[in-house]
């Protein structure tokens, strides 16, 4: 069911510092920062030949990723996003196998303006999984 790896999201405390790490140390192409107040984050996209890395900085303490930083002060891998062709069919299949969808179960528009769902890490090897319809 799942297709390509769309992105890996890393939450970090300082976007400028993380941008410099990826651009200057790792030699990657990094986008200009983008503010997504509806998601509570500032983000840059690291463009790799086969996928993207998203560096997410919480906008404020109410950000959905602010608590993650309380537990991981230096930042860390937050979630991994797989592409699916049909998000409702994917959801129904996942639920039928006992997987838990986080929230209402209805897809929301994610950081790329496409429908996404998040799946409970306890059901997926300890990793928060995002599925995105592309």
Active site residues: 130
Which residue, 43 or 99, is less far from Co ion as judged by CB?
A: 43
| Tokens 């510092």 found at | 17
Which residue, 96 or 99, is less far from Co ion as judged by CB?
A: 99
Cα torsion angle, 96, 98, 99, 104, sign: positive
In this structure, are residues 78 and 129 in contact, taking their beta carbons and an 8 Å threshold? no
Nearest distance, CB of residue 134 and Co ion, angstroms: 13
Nearest distance, CB of residue 132 and Co ion, angstroms: 7
Binding site for Co ion (CB under 5 A): 9, 81, 130
In this structure, are residues 33 and 51 in contact, taking their beta carbons and an 8 Å threshold? no
Which residue, 19 or 116, is less far from Co ion as judged by CB?
A: 116
């Amino acid at each position: 069911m799942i297709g390509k790896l769309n992105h890996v999201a890393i939450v970090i405390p300082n976007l400028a510092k993380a941008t410099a790490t990826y651009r200057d140390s790792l030699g990657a192409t990094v986008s200009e920062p983008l503010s997504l107040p509806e998601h509570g984050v500032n983000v840059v996209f690291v463009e790799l030949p086969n996928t993207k890395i998203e560096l997410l900085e919480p906008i404020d303490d109410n950000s959905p990723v602010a608590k993650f930083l309380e537990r991981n002060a230096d930042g860390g891998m937050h979630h991994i996003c797989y592409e699916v062709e049909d998000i409702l069919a994917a959801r129904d299949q996942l639920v039928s196998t006992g997987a838990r969808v986080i929230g209402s179960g209805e897809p929301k528009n994610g950081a790329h303006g496409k429908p996404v769902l998040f799946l409970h890490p306890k059901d997926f090897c300890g990793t928060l999984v995002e599925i995105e319809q592309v």
